[in-house]
Amino acid sequence: MPARGDQQDPAVSVLDHDHGLTAAQVAERVADGRTNDVPVRASRSIGAIVRGNVLTRINAMIAVLFAVIAVIGPVQDGLFALVIVVNTLIGIAQELRAKRTLDKLAIVNAAHPRVVRDGAATPVTAQEIVLDDVVECAQGDQVVVDGTVVAAEGLEVDESLLTGEADPVLKRPGDAVMSGSFIVAGTGRYRAAKVGRHAYAARLAEEASRFSLVHSELRSGINRILTFITWALFPIGGLLIFSQLALNGQIGIEESVDGGQITGPVADALRGTVAALVSMIPEGLVLLVSIAFAVGVIRLGQQKCLVQELPAIEGLARVDVVCTDKTGTLTENGMRLAEVREMGGGADPARTALAALAAADPRPNPSVAAIAEALGAPPDDWSVVARAPFSSARKWSGASFATPEGEQHWVLGAPDVLAPPSGPEAAEAERIGAEGVRVLLLGRAGERVDGPEAPGPVRPAALVVLDQRLRGDAKDALDYFAGQGVQVKIVSGDNAVSVGAVARAVELPGAREPRDARELPTAQEAFADEADRATVFGRVTPEQKRDLVRGLRSRGRTVAMTGDGVNDVLALKEADIGVAMGSGSPASRAVAQIVLLGNRFSALPAVVAEGRRVIGNIERVANLFLTKTVYSMTMATVVSVLAVAYPFFPRHATLINAVTFGIPSFFLALAPNTERARPGFVRRTLRLAVPSGLIAGAAAVTTYLMVLDGRVVPDPADRTAVVITLCATTLWVLLLVAKPYVWWKTVLVGAMVGLLLTALLTPVGQAFFALDVSAPGKIGVALGVAAAAMALITAVRLVDDRLIAREESRREAAERVPSASGAEG
């Protein structure tokens, strides 16, 4: 009964939220289909994976060419189709492995809201919520279904991801809440009024949580290249067929059937055309991109990193700024109460009030939890009459108590917010905070804490000192980023002096000049300059975190934001890559592209390194496959213009492609690679592939014309000579691309040379691939031309490397000039 999913059941009273639904009522709604049947955001379905690997543009091209060979034979010339089948199966298998990894991690990462049923609060999955369920919520929780508030205590909801409105909205009983928003302060309960796909707000949230897909320069670049190749195939293929048939005057010559294959000029012309077109298609490139990403997901999953978007791996590899909070990254999440330094001569019961405040918080943060653990339970005659939950915007929490001495109002928060800036309490807190500890101020408020003027005048009663333990792996992570040219910026809501002290302890560059975010310029350009220049920021509001990320991006920086709290959500959504901690709030995990389920900032270098491995290796194999495409186009065009038979059969193309690029590319795509990712993938790839392909193609044609000696139809020895030239030249390109050299790369190239020699020198190989090495003169010509081509490719590569180095030097100099100007300003 889907129509009933979009309205609240009138039989359920809003007054019974303390009891919630009964088990029988839940079962009835499940049977009626009134459940929150939104899909779990995880990986692609099995069907989508199979379709994505089978129904591709490249596979369609290969299928058409194989159909031609299936008609004219022989079977050896159809081997290229077998390669595609194997590639596709490998791609499906790897993606299924990645899917299993993602699905397992997604279950761990999934939010488990608490619903009230039969009078007890029970955690369930979001999909298990039914219509009229009463859902509990507190700071950091994401609203999982549309509903109506039935109980609220200082409940503030941020709806900016849905409405664009940045200010939190205070919610009272009877107000509506929308799925996709999140709780920034207070606690409450709401009744599920619209579940599943029935609500407009739920559809908005589903769309938003599907992620604004991270831009992938790799995928878009490869798609542009493939589009060009697809369009180029038609004129080149048409020209080649025309030249092979018409220009030789062989149309109408009768074909014959011999040993299960059609022989004759037309059949040979078709085989040559298929061989040329098969070589033009970079059949393994798209596959290897998918495999590289899938293996990256698996490797990161083993380190408890959930990649919620595959292109996020690529995005992190391009990051040059990481913005992170102090707590949970540089320091441990847990804290210890070190000291309660009372002020005012002990006139106020500071420790009693502090214990009462800690006990009054239904969802204590780490600071309050440490206080509660150290001080224990408050006196029984202190009862709460009003509460003000902690908010990142106001930076304090409080409670009003009924005590034997009368009503008292107490607040706990940032000393520089609650105390006069010029007062002794603020100065003392600054001095203590400079040692790297967290300092809070306990004060007696002049107003009831839930009043409109709260807290009113605050009389300081005590400074609360909390120890923060540095993470043992924090410095290693920061050292890694420094070595990789990635700048780390600490963006914290704590006191700037305290944050700077912690940053100095881990030797973060720029830690000696922490900036108080309240003193940052308000002008957009000046704010962006300061965001780019400084390293440590304290007293940052959630909106300022977002603005800092925006400012850095406006300066051309690629920004990763890490966070675990609800105050990080806006910045996580704004960053190029959002990284959340697994123990963080459901809201922060919901908007992040990567979740560190192990809650270790030190895992982030591994994510960046994996991204760089993926990008660097894909660029390598793209160089190889596009070199093959270029030399094939070059050979087909020249042969067409000269009106001679194409030098290869498809079986020759299969052999060349396998030993030079096809097999090695699988190993190179998964190899270690620490090279820093740089923009300009397409331009940089074509700078090597186009010259190398043109030279290799010209070398093959040169050998062909020299051994052909005026004839228009080659014999097996002629074809073999061209195979040797092309294999030698392209194996040299493989060596250039495979740098830096390690032992396994040497073994890989040696193995490919061994496979080639096996095909050339053994009777079985010669018969299967139609090769003939009985003409030493032609072999000598092939090797001589190949040597000249290798020397020319090397020279082009050296010149291009110098040009690239010069361009990078200019770019780095240009980047240093604005930074220096900002520093002077």
Tell me the pLDDT band of 45, cut-offs 50, 70 and 90: confident
For 585-626, write each residue's pLDDT tens digit.
Answer: 777 777 788 888 877 887 888 878 887 887 888 888 888 888
Indicate if 450 belongs to the active site.
no
More confident residue, 297 or 14: 297
> Quick one: pLDDT at residue 636?
87
Strand, coil or helix: what is 29? helix
pLDDT band for 822, please (50, 70, 90 cuts).
very low
Residue-by-residue DSSP string for 283-306: TTHHHHHHHHHHHHHHHHHHTTEE
Higher confidence at residue 634 or residue 265?
634
Q: What is the pLDDT of residues 305-317, one digit of tens each?
A: 887 766 677 777 7
Say if residue 265's pLDDT is above 80: no
Of 56-70, 113-127, 259-273, 355-369, give the lowest mean pLDDT range.
Answer: 259-273
Lowest mean per-residue pLDDT among 5-9, 171-175, 197-201:
5-9
Alpha helical stretches, state H, 246-335: 265-280, 285-302, 311-317
Predicted confidence (pLDDT) at residue 120 exceeds the cutoff of 70:
yes
Q: Which CATH code fits 307-328+473-597?
A: 3.40.50.1000
Highest mean pLDDT among 13-27, 78-92, 255-269, 350-364: 350-364
Distances (CA, A) of 45 to 37, 106, 209: 17, 14, 18
Element of type H or E holding 616 = helix 604-642
Instruction: Give the strand pairing for 577-581 and 559-563.
Output: parallel
> Considering the chain, what is the average pLDDT of its residues?
80
Q: Cis (ω within 30 of 0) for the bond into 740?
A: yes
CATH of the domain spanning 331-470, picked from 3.40.50.1580, 3.40.630.10, 2.60.40.10, 3.40.1110.10: 3.40.1110.10
Give the separation between CA 631 and CA 625, rounded to whole angstroms.
10
Residue 40: pLDDT band with limits 50, 70, 90: low
The two three-digit tokens of residue 463, written as one number? 């400074």
In this prediction, residues 721-748 reach a mean pLDDT of 90
Instruction: Give the ranges where 643-742 is alpha helix by DSSP (H).
Output: 650-657, 663-669, 681-708, 716-737
Band (pLDDT 50/70/90 cuts) for residue 41 is: low
Cis peptide before 265 (omega within 30 of 0): no
Please provide residue 566's backbone torsions phi and psi, each rounded to the nearest 5 degrees.
Answer: -65, -25
DSSP state string for 399-443: EEEEETTEEEEEEEE-HHHHS-TTSHHHHHHHHHHTTT-EEEEEE
The 3 state secondary structure assigned to 780-810 is HHHHHHHHHHHHHHHHHHHHHHHHHHHHHHH
Q: How far apart are CA 456 and CA 431, in angstroms?
A: 26
Closest CA to 98 of 310, 301, 294, 311: 294
pLDDT range class, residue 824, cuts 50, 70, 90: very low
In sequence order, the 6+-apart residues with CB closer than 8 A to the CB of 821 are none
Asked if residue 812 has pLDDT above 90, the reply is: no
Low-confidence winner among 105-114, 640-649, 690-699, 769-778 (lowest mean pLDDT) = 105-114
Q: Which of 475-489, 503-517, 528-542, 673-687 has the lowest mean pLDDT?
A: 673-687
Separation CA 582–CA 708 (nearest Å)? 67
Confidence of residue 783 (pLDDT cuts 50, 70, 90): very high
Tell me which of 325, 416, 494, 547 is the catalytic residue: 325
C-alpha dihedral (585, 116, 373, 183), degrees to nearest 10:
30
Q: Which of 251-265, 345-359, 468-482, 777-791 has the highest mean pLDDT?
A: 777-791
Which of 3.40.390.10, 2.70.150.10, 3.90.1170.50, 3.30.479.30 would CATH assign to domain 2-34+111-209? 2.70.150.10
Phi, psi dihedral angles at 382 (to 5 degrees): -105, 110
Tell which phi-psi region holds residue 335, choosing left (phi > 0), alpha (psi between -120 and 50) or beta: beta
* pLDDT tens string 125-134: 888 888 889 9
pLDDT (0 to 100) of residue 17: 64
pTM reported for the whole predicted model: 0.72
Report residue 39 as tokens. 């899909």
Mean pLDDT of 417-427: 83
Round the CA-based radius of gyration of the chain to a whole number and report it: 34
Please tell me the distance from the alpha carbon of residue 2 to that of residue 16, in angstroms, as a whole number.
Answer: 25
Q: Where are the domains of the chain?
A: 2-34+111-209, 48-96+215-251+264-297+609-809, 307-328+473-597, 331-470
Instruction: Give me the pLDDT at residue 3, please.
Output: 39
| Lowest mean pLDDT segment, chosen from 219-228, 488-497, 578-587, 814-823 | 814-823
* pLDDT over 80 (residue 102): no
Residue with the larger pLDDT of the pair 98 and 211: 98
> In the chain, pLDDT over 90 holds for what percent of residues?
13
**Residues 456-488: pLDDT tens digits?**
888 888 999 988 777 778 888 888 888 888 899
* CATH code of the region 48-96+215-251+264-297+609-809: 1.20.1110.10
CA distance 537 to 539: 7
What is the spatial order of strands in the sheet that 438-445 belongs to?
A: 331-342, 458-470, 438-445, 406-413, 396-403, 383-388
Q: Confidence band (pLDDT; 50, 70, 90) for 698?
A: very high
Q: What pLDDT score does 39 carry?
A: 57
Q: What is the pLDDT of residues 150-183, one digit of tens each?
A: 988 888 888 776 665 666 788 888 888 888 788 8
DSSP 8-state assignment for residue 12: S
pLDDT at position 676 over 80: no
Q: Are 399 and 464 in contact (CB under 8 A)?
A: no
Residue 285 has pLDDT above 80, yes or no: no
As beta bridge partners, residue 263 has 256
What's the average model confidence in pLDDT over 177-198? 83
**578 phi/psi in degrees, rounded to 5:** -100, 130
Cis peptide bond upstream of 113, omega within 30: no
pLDDT at 721 over 90: yes
SS3 readout for 139-163:
CCCECCCEEEEEEEEEEEEECHHHH
Mean pLDDT, range 104-122, rounded to an integer: 78
Residue 126 and residue 114: Cα distance in Å, rounded? 9
